[in-house]
Amino acid sequence: MTQTKDGTNTVTLTDNRTGKQVTMPILDGKVGPSVIDIRKLYAETGCFTYDPGFTSTGSCESQITYIDGDEGVLLHRGYSIDELAAQSTFPEVCFLLLNGHLPTAAESTEFDSILRRHSMVHEQLTKFYTGFRRDAHPMAIMCGVVGALSAFYHDSTDINDPVERKIAAHRLIAKMPTIAAMAYKYSVGQPFMYPRNDLSYAENFLYMTFGTPCEPYKVNPVLAKAMDKIFILHADHEQNASTSTVRLAGSSGANPFACIAAGIASLWGPAHGGANEAVLKMLEEIGSVDRIPECVRRAKDKNDNFRLMGFGHRVYKNYDPRAQVMRQACHEVLGELGIKDEPLLDIAMELERIALTDEYFIEKKLYPNVDFYSGIILKAMGFPTSMFTVLFALARTVGWISQWKEMIEDPVQKIGRPRQLYTGETKRTFVPLAERG
């Protein structure tokens, strides 16, 4: 690394085949690792970079979320996740992520009112649900229905119009609880519940999910608070797989509803948002505390592809700060519901204890992540396992749309188009079917 006269740090690479040197600037963020600006690398060397899984690649400049994985720090627009979870509300965090500052009292009231007034979905959208089998996974329904929003809200699909971009963001955040609750209602064969404007965001979601037209549904304030906290904990997480998917889809100019549907698809996988569902299945399969050593042994066995779900993270090499808050919330919810004996919680706590003292997990810096405790809370609240990732998608929508908006407004933004290291056949002559051996 060297420094130029104007104070710019640079790094110089030498191609030992040709002796040619290329000097690239090092860019500094406000905090966190610096990046080597390789934009001219191909033009100057004829080489691409090779980084499967993007473990060393920064794909964009962003001002939304900062993670220090070694210290276990997560900041949204500079505010720490534990402070936001303890003192803020999900709509306020949505405003923060979208606009860059915490809302004033007037902005908060206005934003809250916008979300309440956009919560209903086009009536014809209900027909989409009936096209699915009753036993469809709700994430499959979410991919389809959210993608279909672009066919209903034509007046907010012009990505070049800032007003339309804003309306699309508000619509997505406001309608997601309704769409998610409808996916649940369809699976249990109950009528869809229309949103109620007198309820808060989290209350409304619980009402639409667990209420029925037959009797009044009283939202438990402790559960509504926990739901709100769970939404805050999942709101954004920098350039993870689903967010990068949203950005990549959006880089071609696709409309925001289609981009969010792409994000939902990416989130579904068990290595990402699908882990909360996988954790609960794993805890149920373990079944009792005495079977934990067997499960830990399998997780460490190189020849067994079993992994401890809810453990490990690409960025955190410390306890995931969201998991700390989730663990606390888990105890609060179980306490409120009077659940004194939850075998799955006993298994989770013992598993965590053993894993955190095991050489393999210590050496590889594998700590519980956000998904480790969320399933136990959601199960206690009455959600079926298949809805867990849907709740993640609901909450992450604000992160996706904020990142999408930031990308569209970034002047250096261009269509995302990675290259490859080709190792396939070189040009060969076509062999007619009759001559193939």
Q: Which residues are near ligand CMC by CB under 6 A?
A: 53, 237, 240, 271-273, 275, 299, 307-314, 364, 366, 369-371
Task: Based on the residue annotation, tell me whether 70 is a catalytic residue of this protein.
Answer: no
Q: Which is nearer to ligand CMC, 196 or 307 (CB)?
A: 307
Tokens 């997480």 sit at which residue? 237
Annotated catalytic residue, options 112, 236, 320, 371: 371
Spatial distance between the Cα atoms of 138 and 389, rounded to a whole number of angstroms: 9
Q: How far is the CB of 348 from ligand CMC (least distance, A)?
A: 13
Spatial distance between the Cα atoms of 387 and 141, rounded to a whole number of angstroms: 11
Q: Which is nearer to ligand CMC, 122 or 314 (CB)?
A: 314
Q: Which is nearer to ligand CMC, 180 or 326 (CB)?
A: 326
CB-CB contact of 326 with 380 (8 Å):
no
For 217, counting Cβ atoms within 10 Å of its Cβ (0-12 exposed, 13-18 middle, 19+ buried), the class is middle
Q: Which is nearer to ligand CMC, 201 or 392 (CB)?
A: 392
Q: How far is the CB of 372 from ligand CMC (least distance, A)?
A: 7
Annotated catalytic residue, options 118, 137, 313, 358: 313
Q: Which is nearer to ligand CMC, 159 or 180 (CB)?
A: 180
Q: How far is the CB of 247 from ligand CMC (least distance, A)?
A: 16
Task: Based on the residue annotation, tell me whether 371 is a catalytic residue of this protein.
Answer: yes
HEC letters along the chain: CEECCCCCEEEEEECCCCCCEEEEEEECCCCCCCEECCCCHHHHHCCCCCCHHHCCCCCCCCCCEEEECCCCEEEECCEEHHHHHHHCCHHHHHHHHHHCCCCCHHHHHHHHHHHHHCCCCCHHHHHHHHCCCCCCCHHHHHHHHHHHHHHCCHHHCCCCCHHHHHHHHHHHHHHHHHHHHHHHHHHHCCCCCCCCCCCCHHHHHHHHHHCECCECCCCCHHHHHHHHHHHHHCCCCCCCHHHHHHHHHHHCCCCHHHHHHHHHHHHCCCCCCCHHHHHHHHHHHHCCHHHHHHHHHHHHCCCCCCCCCCECCCCCCCCCHHHHHHHHHHHHHHHHCCCCCCHHHHHHHHHHHHHHHCHHHHHCCCCECCHHHHHHHHHHHCCCHHHHHHHHHHHHHHHHHHHHHHHHCCCCCCCCCCCCCCCCCCCCCCCCHHHCC
Q: How far is the CB of 234 from ligand CMC (least distance, A)?
A: 9
Q: How far is the CB of 94 from ligand CMC (least distance, A)?
A: 19
Q: How far is the CB of 322 from ligand CMC (least distance, A)?
A: 8
Q: How far is the CB of 356 from ligand CMC (least distance, A)?
A: 13
What's the token pair of residue 436? Answer: 């193939």
Q: Which is nearer to ligand CMC, 208 or 366 (CB)?
A: 366
List CB contacts of 79: < 8 A, sequence separation 6 or more. Answer: 88, 96, 102
Q: Which is nearer to ligand CMC, 121 or 230 (CB)?
A: 230
Q: How far is the CB of 241 from ligand CMC (least distance, A)?
A: 7
Q: Which is nearer to ligand CMC, 196 or 314 (CB)?
A: 314
**Residues classed as catalytic:** 313, 371
